[in-house]
Chains A and B, each alone.
Chain A
Amino acid sequence: IQLEMPPAPSAAAGSCALSLGSRFLFGCRVTAAHRFAASPVQPPSPLHQQPHLQPCRQGRRWLRPELRGVYKPRLSPEAMKEFWRLSGIGPDHSRAKAADQQAEVPPEIKRLYQEALPPIVSQDYRDPIVESLHRAEMMRRRRVINIPEFHVGSILAVSVMDKHAPNKVNRFVGLCILRRHTGLFTTFTLRNMVDQVCVQIEYELYSPSIVSIQLLKLERRLDDNLLYLMDAPHSHCTIPFDMVPEPYSRNDPVPVNRERVRLNPPPWMCKWHLHGYQGIDLEHLYSYLSDKDVAKAIEFSKAYKRYDLLDQYLNRVPVPDADYAFKDIFIQHQELLQHQQQQQQSSKKSEVISKLTGTA
């Protein structure tokens, strides 16, 4: 469903909020009136008084450090311009202008750069400059290491620098069960069975400790995470360490593995029937549950959330922001391809030179 953007708070209100240095106490209800008591501007529209700061039964809600709204002192316009010049971003920078003028990006960009989307957090904790810097850093890292396109359900081999390992490199092969976070701190988790014991390791996609990420099998599953494999027979996540990479074509759509997994008998780590997983054999799952639990699961799967506009507003990236992010990435993607071509040419050149001069 395409939602209409709610009326955004005026720029003055937004900057006023920043300059007041509002620090939100997690776990407390903060009303708009309290926040904007001292300012002459209008409080934001009612949609922004929504429950991102309501008391949470689980206790303190912990936001990742790069998303916390920490008070930052305002910079003078000259200092900001200098910062923008050094970092290569900002409203006058050519890349930002080019992104604004960019037409629709090809769909393969959205496949390759899923983590380029801004985080799904309330607007108070989002900083477009930080997001722009993250994207730039991500593309710089991609010049050093090839990060393949993969989805949850794909099989990867990751080599990591390890000073304690005999070759200084530690290689792990596994099935990707989870992809979390966005931007520079994107992580993915691989699962595999090693010596009759199942192991899960989380890797940060853009960590400089990673030596190589090799895609062994490109595949998708019916769910966006496969955490239920923890309660499934181990045969579902057993991948041989010496698996040969399967070739795939970039132009074909990603194959979907429609396998439905039969879980082990309960007790389970989590109430898998209440999360809307499509990749679990539901008939087999319900056979373990009481009638009451089955009714709850079916009630959940009725997908009434489709009509919950607020849930969608809070749990989606605003369409203009997503578009801008992908356009920005697309421009840098083209620069990356140019860079790779230049590198290939220069390596061919150096090969030719070394042949002519007779060096090894």
Chain B
Amino acid sequence: LGAALRIQAAVPATGCCVCRNWISTTPRLDYIQRRTRLRVVDNSELGRRAMEAGKPPRVMHVYGKKLKAATGDMVMVAILGQKRRGFIVGARRPEGPLRPQFDSNNLVLLNDEGQPLGNRILAPVPSFLRANRNPKLDYTKLLAIATKFV
């Protein structure tokens, strides 16, 4: 999926492990918010070019009257000088039991009508997204192009 990018991770709050050591750290940047860089996981031309150039899309705006985005939210991203809508299909933030957590924040690019730009999603998609619950977006077509549900 393009060049391997080392996206700078925030240091998680310690004490989440079973070993109980309290080390002073900055608070964990849990959610996807403005300025967050995401990883495009569909096979769209724009996404592929951006990831190979080493210029991943950056979140500009989170839809739904909120400041933070998680799996299942629609965002507006700046990608190669363009503004595009995207849908988050996976996040680094742990969501709780039975909900998968990924090693990267995965994005599927959408056009202005909300239809996916590519025709395949190359990363596994969480199964709970099949409930199709986003009030701002009907992403049935997106689920149709997903290859694997987790």
Interface residues of A (CB under 8 A from B): 56-59, 160, 162, 164-165, 170, 172, 178-180, 187, 194-204, 207, 209, 224-225, 227, 230, 267-271, 274-276, 315
Count residues on chain B whose CB falls below 8 Å from chain A CBs: 42
* Chain B residues, Cβ within 8 Å of A315: 20
Q: Is there an interface contact between B14 and A270, defined as CB atoms closer than 8 Å?
A: yes
User: Interface segment, B43-51, B60-68, B127-135?
Assistant: B127-135
| Subset of 18 A-B contacts with CB under 8 Å | A57-B22, A58-B22, A170-B149, A178-B18, A195-B148, A196-B1, A197-B104, A201-B98, A202-B97, A202-B101, A203-B97, A207-B97, A224-B18, A224-B19, A225-B17, A271-B14, A275-B21, A276-B19
CB under 8 Å from chain A, chain B span 106-122: 106, 122
- State the Cβ distance, A317 to closest chain B Cβ, in Å: 13
Could you tell me if A270 and B97 are in contact, using CB atoms closer than 8 angstroms? no
Say yes or no: A204-B18 contact (C-beta < 8 A), given A196-B1, A267-B9, A271-B23: no
Kindly list 11 other residue pairs between chains A and B, CB separation below 8 angstroms, not including A187-B97, A200-B100. A57-B24, A164-B130, A164-B149, A178-B18, A201-B101, A202-B99, A224-B19, A230-B103, A267-B6, A269-B12, A275-B17
Q: Which residues of chain A are within 8 angstroms of B127 by Cβ–Cβ distance?
A: 162, 164-165, 170
Closest 9 CB pairs of A and B: A164-B130, A198-B103, A197-B123, A194-B124, A200-B101, A201-B100, A199-B100, A204-B97, A269-B9
**Interface on B for A, CB 8 Å cutoff?**
1, 6, 8-9, 11-15, 17-24, 27, 41, 90, 94, 96-104, 106, 122-124, 127-128, 130-131, 147-150
Contacts of B17 in A (CB 8 A): 178, 225, 227, 275
Contact B98 A209 (CB under 8 A): yes
The answer for the CA separation of A188 and B24 in the assembled complex, in Å, is: 26
